[in-house]
Chain A
Amino acid sequence: MDDQLKNEEHTGTSRRSFLKKSSLITALALTPDTVIKAAEKGLDEQIASAIETMPLSLTINGVKQSVRIEPRVTLLDLLRERLHLTGTKKGCDHGQCGACTVHVDGQRVNSCLTLALTTEGRNVTTIEGLADGDNLHPMQEAFLEHDGFQCGYCTPGQIMSAVCCIREGHANTPDEVREYMSGNICRCGAYSNIVDAIMDVKQGGKKV
């Protein structure tokens, strides 16, 4: 946690220092009209402030996090690049594959299309927050038992989605599971085992 904050502080500072020190031309090439207008007035300080970061406080896996980020940072990039929670995967980065699925206030969403600043005050759960200490979540155990993956890249998203599939009440039949898991693509084609794993957890009746 402390390390995470230190890292985040370090990243934030160096980026800002870089912007302040960098030449106007470099800045111009990288920045939008508002900044160019500020630059035309020769106000370097305004360039830095126009690309200012904004504060964000949210709870991730039960831990309160306060960071400063640029508005264009997605929840996925915040998790992976700033907080080093790399369990959540970047697949297509366009909301088409589901590898980035996390829970926001208990709802499964694509973190790649979620701007992090829109999660102010929210509760985010990632794959790292699913297990209870060393005890795997029933869905994680079921994926292991049923071999619900091959390369494993889509697995965190599949598992986060699968947990909600059951919680939402959409895991009553294999067909319903297939429909309600359609937002998670598996290029290895482990679908049949994934459906088995979900049905097993559903029928096992354990709390998910």
Chain B
Amino acid sequence: MNQFSYMRVTSKESAIAALAKDKAAMFLAGGTNLVDLMKSGVTSPERLVDINNVPLATIEETKTGLRIGALAKNTAVAENALVIKHFPLLSQALKAGASPQLRNMATVGGNMMQRTRCHYFYDSALPCNKRSPGSGCGAIGGFTRMHAIFGASDKCIAVHPSDMCVALTALDAVITVTGPKGERKIPFGDFHRLPGDTPEQDNNLQRGELIIAVDIPFNQLAAHTHYLKVRDRASYAFALVSVGAAMQIRGGNIADVRLAMGGVAHKPWRLKEAEAWLKEKSATEENFRKAASMAMANAKSQGGNAFKLTLAPNTIVEALKTAAAQA
């Protein structure tokens, strides 16, 4: 790991000021991804600004939903009674990610900021446009089992690794960030981005901005919810494909539905067309199958991940069936 200097801050204001002063500084929260990236030589900040003592860890009910502080630990959110009651999809997704130890460390804001687990990104001996812009993509034409089937570019085919973000995308969460120019809100679906020609940018957070909270608006989707994650071992592995499904079912018909996927794109992948088609249809396997085919319309294999073209629609159908079957 490179040498760096370290400072602790206890307020949002001092955190923002510290980053504004030092262009080579980064925020440190749970550290589960950043410290790992530093050990691997992928990221080499000259200064870490430890924000763990900034009071941003509360989970509270507002008039319109739940507000989750950016420094709330993944375990605290997953086990929170309000989260389980109103947004079981978020709790399920969090529990499907990482290990209990890592969830005790990792924060909500840090989870959003985590970087791809693409092996070519982690291995600094190999070219990677995300790590070293312009160096090329080692993954294209390489070992692509874990890679994207949606929204990839000829510069990058990496996927976003988070489970939590799949749920937050489906739940129409809104992120609040603050920075030198003040606060702003970012709809969750607009936070992460597709690689295009600038895969080094994972998201639309500006340099110096700090994530402070995520708001999730109340909905009627808690009764029929399922997060289904398919991976190479039963637990503690990144998704090959995951699906977050939540429905409101009235008299056998789908009154409202949300669908999002993980492990398939550079960002959590919301299936809005399939959602729109499913609305007011009956909750049958046949309809789930049609919606899943619709969702796969623009999917493209990279070779090694061709199996995802079959696995992804099957996972969508299975997640919807399981969600619908809940009493």
Contact = CB atoms under 8 A, between A and B. Distances in A.
B105 A74 contact: no
A110 B101 contact: yes
B234 to A, nearest CB: 8
Given A71-B48, A114-B105, A115-B35, A182 B4 contact: no
B235 A178 contact: yes
B5 interface: yes
A125 to B, nearest CB: 14
B31 interface: yes
B277 interface: no
A9 to B, nearest CB: 21
A93 interface: yes
Contact of A54 (B6, B39, B235): B6
A32 interface: yes
Interface string B91-135: 000000011111011000000000000000000000000000000
B100 A164 contact: yes
A126 interface: no
Q: Chain A: interface residue count, which band?
A: 35 or more
B4 A72 contact: yes
Contact of B99 (A107, A170, A183): A183
A101 interface: yes
Contacts of B40: 94
> Which of A70, A71, A98, A120 has the most chain B CB within a 10 Å cutoff?
A71
A94 B39 contact: yes
Given A118-B52, A178-B235, A70 B3 contact: yes
The 3 closest A-B pairs by CB, nearest first: A183-B99, A71-B6, A182-B235
Interface of A: 30-35, 50-51, 54, 70-72, 74, 93-95, 98, 101, 107-110, 113-115, 117-118, 120, 161, 164-165, 168, 170, 178-180, 182-184
